[in-house]
């Protein structure tokens, strides 16, 4: 089983994980007018391909040492059950995240969903980490909650500005007073993000019961996660195609109508996400002497929303048509999230 043994290799893998986990949703954007439910089928295929290739090539490498097959024989069924359960949970969370991205875009969907997940995770870690700094932890939680709230306000304001612009275009006569635009559509994105964040906050906690000392190594862990996600996906995807978050309901068979490009983009998205999760697990399993400090490792492993925001704002121009207030709110949510993330890392891992 191939695992990094030098600090440089671990640093490189940590950065690769950050970029992958913050960039995989670009494939959905590139797919154009393709339902995220159908994209998700290919996304799961991509995760399975990534897990299978990594397991065969890297997990079975160095046969003189512990291999993937040896690890599966040594760990108990209880730890395997935890890995499978985490696959079901992350499957639901990722589908909700994709739904939020399809409605609100990468910049809002990622920060809202993963911001909620981080807030819940911080509260959980605070209870279980004895050396946590209590005042700094509460300040960090306030900053992260502030980032989530400001992200929601940013989307509400963005929708309002766009609707008012559309109304002005339809009623050019200044004597006609247009009604104030409502932002009811924002409630859907916020709800999807909150529920998705709750699910994703549970993923690392459940997976923690399968990994660690005497547990599953990174390669078999990803294999079991991908298998559980793949097998449970028909139930979740069928729900979203029957009760769509946007547009009309559809049949799962509509997946076959996609172009080769759209299917390949879905596969690429799953491979990128799988690579991000795998490298994150590998970094956690590396020797302690080769790992960066807990402060740096925690910050890097939770900064994916900032990468997604950069993609959404700078590349996809998701805030186009906005005003200065929207831009200030967007800048505020980034600053609050970055400050909160740094404060959390310092509060939970002061050394």
pLDDT at residue 60, as a whole number? 80
In a domain, 6, yes or no: no
Domain region containing 61: 12-348
The total of structural domains in the chain comes to 1
CA-CA distance, 121 to 345, in Å (whole number)?
12
Q: ∠ at Cα 267 (199, 334), nearest 5°?
A: 50
For the beta carbon of residue 337, count every other beta carbon within 10 angstroms: 26
In a domain, 1, yes or no: no
Contacts 24+ apart (CB under 8 A), 318-324: 318/105, 318/106, 318/107, 318/108, 319/107, 319/158, 321/158, 321/161, 321/162, 321/165, 322/157, 322/158, 322/161, 322/162, 323/157, 323/161
- Below-50 pLDDT ranges, the chain: 178-184
In a domain, 5, yes or no: no
pLDDT at residue 168, as a whole number? 81
Q: Is the pTM of this model over 0.85?
A: yes
pLDDT at residue 1, as a whole number? 83
Residues in the chain: 351
CA-CA distance, 183 to 164, in Å (whole number)?
11
Q: What is the pLDDT of residues 154-210, one digit of tens each?
A: 999 999 999 888 888 775 555 555 444 344 478 999 999 999 999 999 999 999 999
Phi/psi at 57 (5° precision): -85, -50
Contact at 8 Å (CB) between 271 and 278?
A: no
Residue 255 DSSP class? G
pLDDT at residue 183, as a whole number? 40
Q: What is the pLDDT of residues 292-333, one digit of tens each?
A: 888 899 999 999 999 999 999 999 999 998 999 999 999 999
CA-CA distance, 290 to 123, in Å (whole number)?
28
Contact at 8 Å (CB) between 144 and 118?
A: yes
pLDDT at residue 350, as a whole number? 67
Reference 348, options 304, 286, 293; nearest CA is 293
In a domain, 19, yes or no: yes
In a domain, 2, yes or no: no
CA distances from 253 to 37, 102, 234, 238 (A): 11, 20, 12, 11
pLDDT at residue 348, as a whole number? 82
């Amino acid at each position: 089983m191939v695992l990094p043994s030098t600090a440089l290799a671990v640093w490189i893998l940590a950065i690769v994980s950050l970029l992958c986990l913050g960039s995989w949703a670009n494939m959905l954007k590139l797919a154009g007018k393709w339902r995220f439910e159908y994209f998700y089928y290919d996304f799961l295929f991509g995760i399975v391909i990534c897990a299978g290739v990594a397991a065969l090539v890297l997990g079975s490498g160095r046969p003189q040492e512990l291999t993937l097959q040896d690890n599966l024989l040594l760990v108990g069924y209880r730890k395997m059950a935890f890995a499978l359960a985490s696959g079901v949970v992350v499957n639901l969370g990722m589908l909700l995240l994709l739904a939020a991205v399809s409605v609100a875009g990468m910049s809002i969907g990622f920060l809202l969903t993963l911001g909620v997940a981080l807030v819940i995770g911080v509260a959980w870690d605070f209870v279980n980490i004895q050396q946590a700094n209590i005042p700094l932890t509460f300040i960090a939680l306030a900053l992260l909650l502030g980032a989530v709230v400001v992200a929601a306000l940013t989307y509400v304001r963005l929708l309002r500005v766009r609707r008012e612009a559309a109304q002005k275009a339809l009623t050019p006569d200044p004597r006609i007073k247009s009604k104030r635009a409502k932002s009811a559509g924002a409630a859907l994105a916020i709800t999807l993000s909150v529920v998705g964040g709750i699910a994703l906050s549970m993923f690392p906690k459940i997976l923690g019961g399968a990994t660690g000392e005497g547990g599953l190594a990174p390669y078999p862990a990803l294999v079991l996660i991908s298998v559980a996600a793949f097998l449970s996906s028909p139930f979740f995807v069928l729900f979203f195609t029957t009760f769509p978050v946007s547009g009309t309901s559809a049949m799962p068979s509509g997946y076959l109508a996609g172009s080769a490009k759209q299917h390949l983009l879905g596969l690429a998205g799953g491979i990128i996400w799988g690579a991000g999760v795998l490298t994150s697990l590998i970094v956690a399993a590396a020797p302690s002497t080769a790992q960066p400090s807990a402060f740096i490792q925690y910050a890097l492993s939770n900064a994916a929303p900032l990468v997604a925001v950069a993609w959404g704002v700078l590349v996809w121009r998701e805030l186009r048509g906005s005003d200065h207030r929207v831009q200030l709110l967007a800048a505020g949510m980034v600053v609050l999230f970055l400050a909160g993330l740094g404060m959390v890392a310092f509060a939970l891992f002061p050394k």
